[in-house]
Amino acid sequence: MVIARKVETDRLPAAVERSSARLGLAYIWVAYIAFGLAALAGMMQGMVRGGIMELPSWTNYYQILTAHGVLMALIFTTFFIVGFLITGVARTTGGRLHGTALGWGWAGWILMVVGTMMAVVTILRNEASVLYTFYAPLKASPYFYIGAALLVVGSWFAGFGVFASYRKWKREHKGELSPLFVFMSVTTFVMWIIATLPVAVEVIFQLIPWSLGISPTINIMLSRTLFWFFGHPLVYFWLMPAYIAWYVCVPRIIGGHVFSDSLSRLAFILLLLFSIPVGFHHQLMEPGISAGWKMIHVTLTLIVVIPSLMTAFSMFAVFETTGRKKGGIGLFGWLKKLPWTDVRFFAPFVGMLFFIPGGAGGIINASNQINAVVHNTIWVTGHFHITVGAAVALTFFGVSFWLIPVLTGRTLTRTANRMGMVQTVFWAVGMFLMSFAMHTMGLQGAPRRTDYTTYMDHPTALGWMDYQRMMAFGGGLLFVAAILLILILLYLTFYAPKGYTEYPIGETEKKQQVPRFLERWPVWIGLVAFLIVMAYGYPIMEQLQHQAPGSPPFKTW
């Protein structure tokens, strides 16, 4: 394994040119500042819920719960994803972003930072303890909603920067196939912009006027439908960049090749098509939506299994072919040949393992009637901690270990690599213990999003306490891992030795024929629009025609 390569830096051009690198780093460091604060809030929640500590009087459980959710699920992920994708696009379109793309990128960063500050300040002032789902009629300060809207619009700007780079590349390379990384980034941003339109409508036309007192009541059903239209694809906005790292970067890191260019593109097109029109499966236990419409959304949701299975096959095909090429023999001999001590491979690989039970749990959550067993229990929390908190986050950590050195012109030293391995193990063990406890308690009916309680010492609730302590212990390990991660990343940003680090972009073994239809955006976007109209047109029309009486705002915290 060669991690720190001693080369004369001035003879090798940087993988990403300075102006683009600075933009990428700006996004990634905001992501990790949010991550650090969120980790602190998360650890405290675990301790409180486990009955190990009490919060000081100036804060409360639901306030830090809101902070944890918003900072981790919305701020950390969005900033990191944008930072990762724009640097990858820069790397694969000639090493730099041109002026227009850079302009969009910085404008997006400024909007997102302003939005983040507004949201964080309102949360700290206890004016927005509405959790990251901000369900009306709980009413936050209007600045919270405006902040959220700026965050989303800022991320669109970054997406426009990626589209601009793509168009420029296409103009300069007529008739050529776009780089895989660029194609996947464009798909991810197309998906993201379509998915966030309805939540923008909810925030701008429903929540902001209502929280300002301009409109007295709000249509709860419609607000939830618009929210969950966005809420499910949000999950794919986290996953698709992790898939990009798996499909494109990991093969290069382990010294192999991309399994199939066209298959990777097809998987992304399928994710674009099927991640969107499926929000009702988050609303299975609600009144006001008929069982038939719920079933249609459940079916559309479950089709996403197909591109996930394609991804699983591709990844293990890459591992096996690479292991065999390096001399691995027998049924499983190739496993031994994989670079287990290289954190750039090890961290995302552990993430992939977490995704196997994560995906299975997702099928349970999305299922019509089975959902009744786990709906709003802490099982759900356990589920998204092993999908987003483990599969996606570990992949992002693995990416950071090489991406930050690429952007700062430094190297990942052996010691830093070893610390990264330790960090990965701590994170994985912590996440395993915590989510195991959460899944088990959830099956027994313990609720999510709840402060410490024994429900007046009811025996059922007392039976959950041991698991809650296990959850707190896992949370403690996760916090240690989070601190360790931040220290490593600070080292890689400011102190690691200068040198050349490769931006790993995998290629296929032979030049492959890729069907042209995969790049026909009007066709795919048209199909998405058709699916959306099919899945949402009638139910939304119904919700507008047969409205329940609206709800005035409440501040119950």
Residue 550 in the binding site for another protein (CB under 8 A): yes
Q: Of 255, 262, 270, 540, which lies in the binding site for another protein, with binding defined by CB under 8 A?
A: 262
Say how far apart CA 281 and CA 371 lie, in whole Å: 9
Say how far apart CA 396 and CA 244 lie, in whole Å: 11
Quick note: the x/- pattern for another protein over 156-195, rule CB under 8 A, is ----------------------------------------
Q: Is there a catalytic annotation at residue 257?
A: no
Residue 295 in the binding site for another protein (CB under 8 A): yes
Cα dihedral 41, 157, 162, 526 sign: positive
State the number of binding residues for another protein (CB under 8 A): 71
What residues form DSSP beta bridges with 498? 410
Q: Of 124, 373, 534, 541, which lies in the binding site for another protein, with binding defined by CB under 8 A?
A: 373
Cβ neighbours of residue 98 closer than 8 Å, sequence gap 6 or more = 164, 165, 168
Residues of span 30-69 touching another protein by CB under 8 A: 60-62, 65
Q: How far is CA 190 from CA 186, 528, 541, in A?
A: 6, 10, 25
Q: Is there a catalytic annotation at residue 96?
A: no
Q: How far is CA 38 from CA 51, 211, 488, in A?
A: 20, 26, 18
Residue 290 in the binding site for another protein (CB under 8 A): yes
Residues 454/465, Cβ–Cβ less than 8 Å:
yes
Which CB sits closer to another protein, 290 or 341? 290
Catalytic residue among 68, 91, 224, 232, which? Answer: 232
Q: Of 12, 285, 487, 534, which lies in the binding site for another protein, with binding defined by CB under 8 A?
A: 285
Helical spans, DSSP H, in 409-520: 414-443, 459-462, 465-490
Q: State the minimum distance, in angstroms, from the CB of residue 65 to another protein.
A: 8
Number of helices (H), then strands (E), belonging to the chain: the values are 21, 0
Kindly report the number of other CB atoms within 10 A of residue 119's CB atom: 29
Residues 473/433, Cβ–Cβ less than 8 Å:
yes
Q: State the minimum distance, in angstroms, from the CB of residue 436 to another protein.
A: 19
Kindly report the number of other CB atoms within 10 A of residue 5's CB atom: 11
Q: Of 94, 103, 255, 288, which lies in the binding site for another protein, with binding defined by CB under 8 A?
A: 288
Residue 260 in the binding site for another protein (CB under 8 A): yes
Contacting range for another protein; rule: CB under 8 A; set: 113-121, 421-429, 448-456, 498-506: 448-456
Residues of span 212-241 touching another protein by CB under 8 A: 220-221
Of 153, 122, 152, give the one whose Cα is nearest residue 140.
122
Q: State the minimum distance, in angstroms, from the CB of residue 255 to another protein.
A: 21
Residues of span 302-361 touching another protein by CB under 8 A: 302-303, 305-306, 309-310, 313, 317
Which CB sits closer to another protein, 85 or 258? 258
Contacting range for another protein; rule: CB under 8 A; set: 4-12, 105-113, 231-239, 290-298: 290-298
Q: State the minimum distance, in angstroms, from the CB of residue 266 to another protein.
A: 7
Catalytic residue numbers, as ranges: 232, 236, 383-385, 448-449
